[in-house]
Amino acid sequence: MAKQTIKTIMPIIAVSSIDELHDFYTEKLGFKRVMGMVGKDGQFDFVAYDLNGAQIMFTRMREPMDETRPSTGRRPVDIYLEVDDVETYHRTATERGVKVTNPLTTQ
């Protein structure tokens, strides 16, 4: 059997409101909305964003299924994005109002 090559991976993150994060991803980070679906209540049920091939999807949290329960606390999510020129992207993001909590470092 031939070895499969993974071409992309798209994390799907459940949030309480996609509408509240839309401007951050589009206006501050420069992502473009590539698809989405509006629910019966007029709010987005899910949206996928793209930045030069890097994709991320957000889905609105649903009611618990079976015996699962939603988390009672906040859980951090780290998203790593590889870009050609990190200094330029960092400068652009901070000029757009993104709060940077750690300085750029070589790791």
For residue 74, what pLDDT is reported? 64
Question: pLDDT tens string for the chain (107 positions)?
Answer: 566 565 677 788 888 888 889 999 999 999 999 999 998 888 888 899 999 888 999 988 865 555 556 556 666 666 667 778 889 988 998 999 998 888 887 76
For residue 100, what pLDDT is reported? 86
In 10 A of CB 17, how many CB atoms?
12
For residue 96, what pLDDT is reported? 92
Collapsing DSSP states into helix, strand and coil, what is residue 2?
Answer: coil
For residue 27, what pLDDT is reported? 93
In 10 A of CB 47, how many CB atoms?
24
The candidate with the shortest Cα–Cα distance to 60, out of 36, 82, 81, is: 36
The candidate with the shortest Cα–Cα distance to 43, out of 19, 72, 70, is: 19
For residue 106, what pLDDT is reported? 76
Report pTM: 0.65
